């Protein structure tokens, strides 16, 4: 079982901060770093299936520009895995859907431009549940991703390609998007760090829309500081996104470095415990809370009574918005077109294309959303869900009068087996129970590892903060990471993957 990693592969073990330092000091070149990661992807991604498309030429060209000194900064030369829901000029973008197979976007997302200017090297596009609808990647149109901790298990979803890439040492950084937990739940089940910034904190220009009032892109990494550095690069006002917040970016890097929770008031969400929570998840969570108290935080229990209704409200609001957003896949201007025999009407071509191009979960949600928005049902479903959304927001606002952050387990269980929930939509939806409230409210939230459950799989600790107080996540996350030495948990994955190569 001895791990066999050669010298250049050792570069893949470094976190983003360490890579950037070595590149800046010319100890290694950005090209060497990029090539080491591309080689590791070639060697291991057959097992993981984290990537849908690897852009070796683009990555090496960008790395050369970094080596030529064209870009500098704290992440210059650091490789990154980009969720395939972010559009990239000249590089295929599918959002995990067959309906977009082969689509080459004519423009870059704002965050792609910002990362390029920061010298970040995009290695390729990662797998995901189709249009980000799912919690396991099993609803990808291109096959599931496997969890590097256990290949029979899911790496979470929708951003399971990104979480597997980071946990499997295929990239030190990744971008995810989080509509109901798609950054945080994959982070939790892979032992990595994932952050959903404040809604509007990171531009959505060039993010393929699922549910526009909830979607938010954010950083994935192996350390809290690395996530903060990436957050800093992608955040900030963008004129091309009318929902982008025109306010200074919270000082997330400083917060991650301080990692100071003394005097901080931490509220444990009473509703997110008990039945349905795996014993090992609850135990690691409770220990982490005790650790924060030991570091000087003031811990209290807080009740957020309407959080119990968040899942129901979400599965009305998100499908409703999706049914409208996904109307754009009409087979007319881009993407798949099926059944255009010269005789069929546009409407018939649309219906045939959408039948062939959408997977079962996307169809389920479009139909559900169409129903919830129908005359006669609107008030009872969509309208009522929007009122519940107000009550959830008020729960947060009331809680944040008493405490600085709220905490809970990120997800009730560790990584589940591939196939276990895919035919039971409600069981799959329950995975996002604890992550959904922050999306409905719009506040930032993080998942940071807090140890391993009795089954040997990682457990995620969720921190939720008020709108535009993203820095608090990094203080708490940084403190826990230091106290629990969580980045070392991934040594196990590194050892396993070395064994597989020998």
Partner 1 sequence: MAAISRADVAHLASLARISMTDDELDVLAGQLDVILGAVSRVQEVAAEDIPPTSHPLPLTNVFRDDTPAPSLPPEAALAAAPIAEEQRFRVPRILDQE
By the criterion CB under 8 A, which residues form the site for partner 1? 103-107, 199-200, 213, 239, 242-243, 245, 306, 309, 311-313, 315-316, 323, 327, 330-337, 340, 342, 344-352, 354-355, 358, 363-364, 366-368, 370-371, 374, 380-381, 383-391, 393, 425-426, 429, 440-442, 467
Catalytic residue among 182, 211, 244, 497: 182
Q: How far is the CB of 384 from partner 1 (least distance, A)?
A: 5
The tokens for 166 are 């980071």
Q: How far is the CB of 197 from partner 1 (least distance, A)?
A: 12
Q: How far is the CB of 426 from partner 1 (least distance, A)?
A: 6
Q: How far is the CB of 340 from partner 1 (least distance, A)?
A: 5
216: left (phi over 0), alpha (psi -120 to 50) or beta: beta
Q: How far is the CB of 200 from partner 1 (least distance, A)?
A: 5
3-state secondary structure at position 241: coil
Catalytic residue among 97, 135, 158, 203: 158
283/334 with CB nearer partner 1: 334
24/348 with CB nearer partner 1: 348
Interatomic CA distance for residues 409 and 266, integer angstroms: 14
282 backbone dihedrals φ, ψ, rounded to 5°: -60, -40
Q: How far is the CB of 202 from partner 1 (least distance, A)?
A: 13
52/489 with CB nearer partner 1: 52
For tokens 């590149």, name the residue: 23
23/112 with CB nearer partner 1: 112
CA angle 137/139/144 to nearest 5° reads 45
Q: What is the dihedral of CA 387, 393, 398, 401, to 10 degrees?
A: -160
The strand order across the sheet containing 79-83 reads: 51-54, 121-126, 79-83, 173-177, 217-221, 193-196, 445-452, 458-464, 405-409, 265-269, 298-302
366/459 with CB nearer partner 1: 366
Interatomic CA distance for residues 447 and 279, integer angstroms: 19
Catalytic residue among 83, 125, 196, 291: 83
Q: Is the Cβ–Cβ distance between 110 and 206 less than 8 Å? A: yes
210/429 with CB nearer partner 1: 429
468/490 with CB nearer partner 1: 468
Interatomic CA distance for residues 103 and 143, integer angstroms: 18
Beta-carbon contacts of residue 56 (< 8 Å; ≥ 6 apart): 38
Q: How far is the CB of 438 from partner 1 (least distance, A)?
A: 10
Residue 182 falls in the annotated catalytic set? yes
The tokens for 494 are 């590194």
497 backbone dihedrals φ, ψ, rounded to 5°: -75, -25
Q: Is the Cβ–Cβ distance between 155 and 167 less than 8 Å? A: yes
Residue 64 falls in the annotated catalytic set? no
Helix axes 16-24 and 30-48, enclosed angle (nearest 10): 150
Interatomic CA distance for residues 227 and 233, integer angstroms: 10
Q: How far is the CB of 63 from partner 1 (least distance, A)?
A: 26
285/382 with CB nearer partner 1: 382
CA angle 173/268/283 to nearest 5° reads 75
Q: Of the candidates 113, 314, 136, which has an alpha carbon nearest to the alpha carbon of residue 215?
A: 314
The tokens for 25 are 């000091």
CA angle 129/373/136 to nearest 5° reads 15
Residue 83 falls in the annotated catalytic set? yes
Q: How far is the CB of 389 from partner 1 (least distance, A)?
A: 4
Q: Is the Cβ–Cβ distance between 259 and 475 less than 8 Å? A: yes
Q: How far is the CB of 268 from partner 1 (least distance, A)?
A: 23
Q: Is the Cβ–Cβ distance between 197 and 465 less than 8 Å? A: no
327/501 with CB nearer partner 1: 327
Helix axes 310-325 and 384-402, enclosed angle (nearest 10): 130
**What residue ranges in 153-207 does DSSP mark as E strands?**
173-177, 193-196
387/417 with CB nearer partner 1: 387
Interatomic CA distance for residues 19 and 75, integer angstroms: 8
Interatomic CA distance for residues 252 and 444, integer angstroms: 12
Enzyme catalytic residues: 83, 158, 182
């Amino acid at each position: 079982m001895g791990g066999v990693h050669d010298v250049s592969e050792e570069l893949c073990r470094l976190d983003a901060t360490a890579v950037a330092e070595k590149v800046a000091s010319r100890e290694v070149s950005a090209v060497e770093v990029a090539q080491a990661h591309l080689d590791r992807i070639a060697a291991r991604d057959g097992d993981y299936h984290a990537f849908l498309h690897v852009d070796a030429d683009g990555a090496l060209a960008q790395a050369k520009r970094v080596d030529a000194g064209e870009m500098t900064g704290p992440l210059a030369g650091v490789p990154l895995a980009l969720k395939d829901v972010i559009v990239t000029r000249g590089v295929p973008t599918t959002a995990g859907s067959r309906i977009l197979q082969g689509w080459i976007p004519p423009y870059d997302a704002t965050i792609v431009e910002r990362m390029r200017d920061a010298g970040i090297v995009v290695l390729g596009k990662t797998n995901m549940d189709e249009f980000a609808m799912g919690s396991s990647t099993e609803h990808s149109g291109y096959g599931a991703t496997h969890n590097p901790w256990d290949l029979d298990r899911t790496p979470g979803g929708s951003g399971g390609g990104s979480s597997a890439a980071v946990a499997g040492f295929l990239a030190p950084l990744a971008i995810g998007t989080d509509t109901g937990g798609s950054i945080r739940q994959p982070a939790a089940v892979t032992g990595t760090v994932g952050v959903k910034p404040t809604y509007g904190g990171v531009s959505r220009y060039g993010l393929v829309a699922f549910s526009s009032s909830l979607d938010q892109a954010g950083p994935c990494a192996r350390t809290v500081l690395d996530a903060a550095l990436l957050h800093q690069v992608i955040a900030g006002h963008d004129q091309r996104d009318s929902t982008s917040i025109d306010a200074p970016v919270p000082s997330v890097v400083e917060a991650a470095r301080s990692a100071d929770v003394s005097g901080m008031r931490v509220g444990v969400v009473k509703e997110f415990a008990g039945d349905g929570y795996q014993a090992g998840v609850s135990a690691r969570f409770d220990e982490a809370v005790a650790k924060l108290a030991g570091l000087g935080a003031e811990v209290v229990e807080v009740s957020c009574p309407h959080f119990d209704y968040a899942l129901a409200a979400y599965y009305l609001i998100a499908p409703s918005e999706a049914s409208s957003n996904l109307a754009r896949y009409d087979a007319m201007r881009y993407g798949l077109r099926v059944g255009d025999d010269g005789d069929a009407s546009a409407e018939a071509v649309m219906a045939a294309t959408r039948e062939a191009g959408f997977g079962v979960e996307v169809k389920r949600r479009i139909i559900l959303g169409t129903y919830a928005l129908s005359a006669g049902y609107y008030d009872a479903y969509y309208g009522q869900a929007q009122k519940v959304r107000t009550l959830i927001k008020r729960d947060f606002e009331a809680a944040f009068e008493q405490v600085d952050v709220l905490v809970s387990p990120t997800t009730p269980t560790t990584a589940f087996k591939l196939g276990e929930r895919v035919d039971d939509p409600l069981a799959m939806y329950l995975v996002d129970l604890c992550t959904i409230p922050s999306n409905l409210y719009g506040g930032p939230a993080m998942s940071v590892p807090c140890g391993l459950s009795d089954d040997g799989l990682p457990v995620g600790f969720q921190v939720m903060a008020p709108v535009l107080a993203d820095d608090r996540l990094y203080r708490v996350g940084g403190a826990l990471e230091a106290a629990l030495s969580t980045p070392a948990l991934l040594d196990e994955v590194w050892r396993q993957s070395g064994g597989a190569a020998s």
